[in-house]
């Protein structure tokens, strides 16, 4: 039985709606999944409602993936079991969404100056009025023929250091971890293999991370082994997921359930969460 704890929907830059993702998870026989959209909780309620309305039996974990920067490194923090009614969380996410809009405006202007005939309205349309991320800009570039695939659009124009790039609003991993925890969630370091730098990984762990994503489509077996050992050494939870974004999203993120964790590891996450809640209740 597999739990995929890293999934994106149309609420951020995924190509499948929350409902489609749930239906697909059932079809693939997943025991559970976490919806972890970048910087937004908007996919959670539709998924939850769909499960309720259809009577589907699946273990659903409300989650998020906060995109942060640490020096030159891009660091993503996953949050599981977040309280998506938490006002502080909602407030902060609204601000980030607004900043992302302004950033998209700047990126489109830069790309236009480079001779790419794309428009902000089209990018907004591709984002379906929701949170705007670089993948939406990449898709606009592809549709207008400036690149053949999203990864190519990144490599040519909008990856860090490329001419159309504009940095995100500076959000630190330290604040992201705090925000997840204060909303009752568990903070997990996403795909440490993409960070590569062991010093940075250790520094993020020092900020109060509670677990690390060991199983990830782009982690090789040596990395998997090393991160598992790191988790054991530091007494951290182990997690895993596919980072599903939908078909055509590029890289290895097109298949729901391609990575994940088994019942036993999920049980440890759940037990940790339950201890955390009961501790909080006892304190009040």
Q: Tell me which residues touch ligand AMP (CB under 6 A).
A: 13, 38, 67, 133-135, 150-151, 154, 159, 168, 250-251
Residue 150 binding partner per list ligand AMP, Fe ion, Zn ion, none, with a CB distance cut-off of 5 to 8 Å that depends on partner kind: ligand AMP
**Residue nearest to ligand AMP as judged by C-beta position:** 133
Q: Contact between 213 and Fe ion (CB under 5 A)?
A: no
Least Å distance, CB 159 to Zn ion, is: 14
Q: Contact between 150 and Zn ion (CB under 5 A)?
A: no
Q: Contact between 219 and Fe ion (CB under 5 A)?
A: no
Residue closer to ligand AMP by CB (options 137, 266) is 137
Least Å distance, CB 159 to ligand AMP, is: 5
Provide the edge-to-edge strand list for the sheet that holds 2-7: 237-240, 211-215, 186-189, 73-80, 59-70, 32-35, 2-7, 261-262
Q: Contact between 13 and Zn ion (CB under 5 A)?
A: yes
Residue 159 binding partner per list Zn ion, ligand AMP, Fe ion, none, with a CB distance cut-off of 5 to 8 Å that depends on partner kind: ligand AMP
Least Å distance, CB 212 to ligand AMP, is: 17
- CA distances 236 to 47, 73, 128, Å, are 29, 22, 37
Q: Contact between 76 and Fe ion (CB under 5 A)?
A: yes
Residue closer to Fe ion by CB (options 38, 146) is 38
> Among residues 30, 243, 256, 259, which is the contact residue for Fe ion, using CB under 5 A?
243
Identify the sign of the CA torsion 227, 233, 236, 239. positive
Task: Say how far apart CA 134 and CA 232 lie, in whole Å.
Answer: 35
Residue 136 binding partner per list Fe ion, Zn ion, ligand AMP, none, with a CB distance cut-off of 5 to 8 Å that depends on partner kind: none
Least Å distance, CB 269 to Zn ion, is: 22
At residue 187, the 3 state secondary structure works out as: strand
**Which tokens hold the place of 232?**
């054991």
Residue closer to Zn ion by CB (options 13, 86) is 13
The answer for residues whose C-beta is within 8 angstroms of residue 258's C-beta and 6 or more apart is 217, 242, 244, 252
- Output the furthest CA–CA distance in the chain (Å, rounded): 61
Least Å distance, CB 280 to Fe ion, is: 28
Least Å distance, CB 96 to ligand AMP, is: 10
The H or E element containing residue 211 is: strand 211-215
Task: Say how far apart CA 32 and CA 16 lie, in whole Å.
Answer: 17
Token look-up 């590569």 returns 196
The H or E element containing residue 76 is: strand 73-80
Residues that bind Zn ion (CB under 5 A): 13
């Amino acid at each position: 039985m597999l739990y995929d704890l890293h999934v994106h929907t149309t609420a951020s830059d995924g190509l499948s709606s929350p409902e489609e993702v749930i239906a697909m998870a059932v079809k693939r026989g997943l025991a559970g999944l976490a919806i972890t959209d970048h910087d937004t909780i908007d996919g959670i309620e539709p998924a939850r409602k769909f499960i309720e309305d259809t009577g589907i039996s699946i273990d659903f974990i409300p989650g998020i993936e906060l995109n942060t920067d640490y020096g030159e490194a891009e660091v993503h923090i996953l949050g599981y079991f977040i309280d998506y009614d938490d006002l502080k969380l909602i407030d902060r996410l609204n601000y980030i969404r607004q900043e992302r809009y302004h950033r998209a405006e700047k990126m489109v202007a830069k790309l236009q100056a480079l001779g790419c005939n794309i428009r902000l309205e089209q990018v907004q349309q591709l984002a379906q009025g929701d949170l705007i991320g670089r993948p939406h800009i990449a898709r606009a570039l592809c549709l207008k023929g400036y690149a053949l695939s999203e990864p190519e659009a990144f490599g040519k124009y909008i990856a860090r250091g490329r001419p159309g790039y504009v940095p995100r609003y500076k959000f630190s991993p330290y604040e992201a971890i705090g925000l997840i925890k204060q909303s009752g969630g568990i903070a997990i370091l996403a795909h440490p293999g993409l960070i590569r730098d062991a010093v940075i990984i250790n520094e993020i762990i020092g900020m109060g991370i509670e677990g690390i994503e060991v199983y990830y489509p782009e982690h090789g077996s040596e990395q998997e082994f090393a991160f598992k050992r790191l988790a054991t050494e530091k007494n951290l939870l182990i997690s895993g997921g596919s980072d599903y974004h939908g078909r055509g999203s590029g890289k290895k993120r097109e298949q729901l359930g391609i990575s994940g964790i088994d019942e036993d590891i999920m049980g440890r996450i759940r037990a940790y969460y339950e201890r955390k809640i009961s501790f909080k209740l006892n304190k009040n």
